Structure 1
Amino acid sequence: MRTVARGLVVCGAVLGSAAGAGAPGAGAVSGPELSGVAEAVPVAEADLSYHGSVVMAGGRMRVRFVARNHGPDAVPDATVRLRWSVPPGVRQELPEGCARAGERVVVCRTGELAADGLGERAELAVRLPGAPPEVSLELDTVWGGGAVDRNRENDRQRVLVLDTGDTYYF
């Protein structure tokens, strides 16, 4: 785990530090109960990634993926965003833990991810009105359970999917 120093900020003044602690016109609040407000807070580190497959035929797309945490710390939960270049139909049956977050966006929770562990397999089936000949699908992390992810490149996937019935892997 990484440790960061946190202080309390009130009206732009940092409390518990020399900067702004009672400086004239700084709007700082002081007092014995506020001294030493800054403290070390442990921050979890994770490295999230998504691997899976997608297939499209006749305007119907099936997406399967698994979230992976390469560690070093566990993540209590995370949220992955799926974004289509063509908006899925208005009425979709989404699996538990997934919800629409916009015209072209669905978000899904991953559940708990152990350090160097895999999450549950997620599977979505969506209809794309008009049966487009190709669609791009992007996956990325929206929220990492409060963990710091220093390698954001492997949690962003973009797949071009042709309406051929072929499976594309990411």
Structure 2
Amino acid sequence: MVVTRKALLRVSAAAAMASTLALGAGGTVAAVGAPVVSRPVSPVVSRVVSPVVRGVEPEADVSHHGHVSLWGTGLGVWLVSQNSGPSDLAGTTVRLRLSVPLSGRQELPAQCLQADRQTVLCRTGPLRGDGSQQRQLALELQLLGRPTEVVVRIDTAWNGGATDLNAKNSEHEVLAPATGDEYVF
């Protein structure tokens, strides 16, 4: 016997309608269309399960801009983070992922940490939603060997749960040849 999706939906709908309960006068329960009988509501039936209502998520527009420079074994990353709102943010975490490994432990600013051999995470601190507050970050990272080029991927790893409808201005991929020149993102 082949049961189609439509048939299952019809059976489910009919079963749901048959089991629909209506609250009668005096807190009694009766099936729809049945006479109301005055008796206390059973504890099992009286439990009303309400849908989970989530709070409205804040909306922000975080952006990261700056430049990257590669020379010898050194990689310089200078970036400015800002929030064009509308909501203020308690802080964000900027993630820098490199195409080549770092040479061991790095000397990083207090707000940064090395997540793995190719990733650095840095917190920005609070960002007001009117765009008036900018957080600057300057890093000089030491790379393993002397790469001829490195790809740096910059993005927001965390923004406090805010919705960012324009994530493209906080996600960048920069190719930096070992020229010592500044490559802007």
TM range (shorter): 0.7 to 0.9
Q: Is the 8 A contact 1:68 1:116 kept in 2?
A: no
Name the counterpart of 2:156. 141
Structure 1: any 5+ residue segments left out of the alignment?
1-29
How far the C-alpha of 1:116 sits from its partner, in A, is 2.9
Q: Distance in 1 between matches of 2:60 and 2:139?
A: 25
Equivalent pairs counted in the alignment come to 141
**Which aligned runs of 4 or more in structure 1 are off by greater than 6 angstroms?**
30-34
State the TM-score, normalized to the length of structure 1: 0.76
From the CA coordinates, give the structure whose radius of gyration is larger.
Answer: 2
Amino acid at match of 1:169: V
Q: Is the 8 A contact 2:59 2:164 kept in 1?
A: yes
State the TM-score, normalized to the length of structure 2: 0.70
How far the C-alpha of 1:128 sits from its partner, in A, is 1.1
What CA deviation, in whole Å up to 9, does each residue of 1:119-155 have, x standing for no partner? 3201111111211010000000111112111222221
Q: Distance in 1 between matches of 2:153 and 2:104?
A: 19
Structure 2: any 5+ residue segments left out of the alignment?
1-43
Equivalent in 128, 143, 147 of residue 132 of structure 1: 147
CA RMSD of aligned residues (A): 1.8
Q: Is the 8 A contact 2:106 2:114 kept in 1?
A: no
Instruction: Identify the structure with the greater helix proportion.
Output: 2
Q: Distance in 2 between matches of 1:66 and 1:34?
A: 50
CA 1:33–1:142 in 2, change beyond 3 Å: closer, same or farther? farther
Amino acid at match of 1:66: V
Equivalent in 88, 91, 95 of residue 102 of structure 2: 88
1:116 pairs with 2:130:
yes
Q: Distance in 2 between matches of 1:152 and 1:99?
A: 23
Name the counterpart of 1:164. 179
1:48 pairs with 2:58:
no
